[in-house]
Structure 1
Amino acid sequence: MGFSNLELVIQCDNFPYFEDNQTVYAEHIAKYYEFRVSGIDATLGYILNSVVDKFPWPQYWQIDSRLKRVTLVTAANVTAADRSKLIAETLSEAVKKESFEVLKGWRSENYPVFGPGGEYLFEMERSASPLFGIVTYGSHMTGYTEDAEGMKIWVPRRSKNKQTYPGMLDNTVAGGMATGERPFECIVREALEEASLPESVVRPGAIARGCITYSHIRDARAGGEVGLSQPEIEFVYDLKLDASVTPKPGDNEVDAFELLSIPELKDALARGEFKPNCSVVIIDFFIRHGILTPENEPDYLDIMSRLHRRLQYPLASYRQ
């Protein structure tokens, strides 16, 4: 029968819920240390025990085995740039010592980390983000067409050479948000880079449709160490494309695009062909467009609640 829609959502949002089973949650959280920075009363992420043991921590890090906390210790007047410099030095040492497989996928892209109230605290190399379990942000867009045969969606096949989820199906456009980048600007940039979709098509046509949130535990398909915590927020967009517009690979991350009907998409989902978070974006699209409804999806309410997990970390603010 293949995977149900709820099973696909759970594969992505697979960090245990305290409310569901406190014993299971306690057993799982015992595998991690809290990640903190001095002067900020908040947990910024969860670091796997084995990562803590293996990391070549410089002297400005405090490892508290009793409280199970890893803290970046800085002066009271520290700036975000100061913290970022210390993080970069820490990661540079880990790269030199080849401490972690995941760092071999170094991207030279930085992700922001926020404190309470959306305060920008520092930035970190993208490939290192799952080692620290920080919240990461991205934008995903579903490009679709409609004709006499019905709705069809453009789906790319990830390159077989990618370090993460090689050869799996993806969303039409998807990418992580770098430091200082806003969700819509991210999707405009990624659309051109990944799908050769110009700004003249994306800016007037892409419609913001909310976001999905989940807390993922990485498996072998993600590349590198397994068991790393990866909470994420994905801003979702829809783009209705004219039949004359065809997405084309713009970089080496995608092998090819294919236009799939809704039944074909459902079959691919059930076979587990999509990258986990991309499955969730497609399911969210199906719900918003009335393809999945309470009448035809028995797990509708469970799916809806898990598409919008309340993350227990400080999050970004877009007030400015």
Structure 2
Amino acid sequence: MRRQRLSDQPEAWVSYLDRIAEANNWKQDGYRPLLVDGHELGQTSDAFAASLEKYPDVFVIEPNAVRLADGLSSYDERTEAIAACLNDIRQTRGIHGWRNENYPVGRTFERPVFEIERAAVPLLGTRGYGVHMNGYVRKDGGFFMWIARRSLQKATAPGKLDQMVGGGQPAGLSVRDNLIKECGEEAAIPRDLAEMARPVSAITYRCVRPEGFRWDLLWCYDLELPASFVPVAADGEVDEFMLMNINDVAAGIRETTDYKFNCALVILDFLIRHGFVEADDPDYEHLVTGLHPRF
């Protein structure tokens, strides 16, 4: 099948780059680093930093930084102390989308120094992690992708279009095990089929969203599915699945904001890797580097 070259539609380049720009709109003004043992582990808004002044035994608010108190030195001490603060804030002013699911916090995913509630990640501005899987089908000489429509009940991006499978990466679970779990929960993909998913890429971005500062790394997987397989929304997080021609998917990314902002990036990465966006197109380098910026 002929891959669709971007040069066939020159106006499309700006739109693809718009998706990357939307996911990298963060500016330092109004934010200060979250420091732990002298290392920057997040970016906290001045407004949320003010709400942390109530907890001086946990957070030290400085003119240009938020610092975790020196007396908190162990993983468990930090996790428990921060959890108490966040629970208090949740009770007094609310934290949207509370999930009772912890995310690891550290300079790298492999070496966390504490955990925090997932809904607080964009408030403290720590790095978030997720796993996204593109499910695709080759049939009748064409190339198709399964696209999910997010439930209107979702805390973030309700009703937006999404990968077939995607979810946050909690503490205490491997990326591969999390992917297999999400495959079963979100799309009723049997374990033996889910295990065939291939790790292919990782993308990252920093942006300001309604929920706060997003500084995420997403592990990307591809799974080629048999034409006979039809996903089923198993956990209520998806309203419907649609099998879409890849050119229609690409057009949706280029020309609309119908897709959840980070899912658009995962699909753009897929389009590049599978040759639907080619290296001789004018903005290829900007697209590739925009999906993998160095922070």
TM-score, structure 2 length as denominator?
0.91
Percent same amino acid at aligned positions? 33
Match of 1:309 in 2: 293
Q: Provide the secondary structure at the position in 1 that maps to 2:285.
A: helix
User: Which amino acid is 2:24 matched to?
Assistant: D
Separation in structure 1 between the aligned mates of residue 130 and residue 68 of structure 2, nearest angstrom: 26
Separation in structure 1 between the aligned mates of residue 198 and residue 82 of structure 2, nearest angstrom: 36
Cα distance change on mapping 1:64 and 1:254 into 2, 3 Å: same
Q: Provide the secondary structure at the position in 2 that maps to 1:58.
A: coil
Cα distance change on mapping 1:125 and 1:116 into 2, 3 Å: closer
Match of 2:225 in 1: 241
Match of 1:216 in 2: 207
Q: Which structure 2 segments of 5+ residues have no match?
A: 1-10
Which of 92, 100, 103 is matched with 1:97 structurally?
A: 92
Deviations 1:125-159, CA, capped at 9 Å, x for gaps = 00000001111111100000001241100000011
Does structure 1 conserve the Cα–Cα contact (< 8 Å) formed by 2:204 and 2:291? yes
Q: Provide the secondary structure at the position in 2 that maps to 1:175.
A: strand
Cα distance change on mapping 1:55 and 1:73 into 2, 3 Å: closer
Match of 1:41 in 2: 38
Match of 1:250 in 2: 234
Match of 2:250 in 1: 266
Does structure 2 conserve the Cα–Cα contact (< 8 Å) formed by 1:42 and 1:116? no
Separation in structure 1 between the aligned mates of residue 278 and residue 153 of structure 2, nearest angstrom: 37
Separation in structure 2 between the aligned mates of residue 285 and residue 275 of structure 1, nearest angstrom: 15
Say what the alpha-carbon RMSD is for the aligned residues: 1.7
Match of 1:192 in 2: 184
Separation in structure 1 between the aligned mates of residue 60 and residue 51 of structure 2, nearest angstrom: 15
User: Which amino acid is 1:91 matched to?
Assistant: L
User: Which amino acid is 2:232 matched to?
Assistant: K
Greater percentage in strand: 2
Match of 2:24 in 1: 13
Q: Which structure 1 segments of 5+ residues have no match?
A: 16-27, 312-320
Does structure 2 conserve the Cα–Cα contact (< 8 Å) formed by 1:36 and 1:70? yes
Deviations 1:160-214, CA, capped at 9 Å, x for gaps = 12121111100111011110222211111111111111111111x1011021111
> Where in structure 2 are the equivalents of 1:200-211 lying within 5 Å?
200-203=192-195, 205-211=196-202
Cα distance change on mapping 1:47 and 1:189 into 2, 3 Å: same
State the aligned residue count: 282
Match of 1:63 in 2: 61
Q: Provide the secondary structure at the position in 1 that maps to 2:38.
A: coil
Match of 2:263 in 1: 278
Separation in structure 1 between the aligned mates of residue 28 and residue 24 of structure 2, nearest angstrom: 15
Q: CA deviation at 1:75?
A: 2.5
TM-score, structure 1 length as denominator?
0.84
User: Which amino acid is 1:52 matched to?
Assistant: A
Match of 2:284 in 1: 300
Q: CA deviation at 1:29?
A: 1.2
* Alignment partner of 1:4 is 2:12: no
Q: CA deviation at 1:11?
A: 1.0
Which of 137, 152, 165 is matched with 1:145 structurally?
A: 137
Separation in structure 2 between the aligned mates of residue 118 and residue 199 of structure 1, nearest angstrom: 25
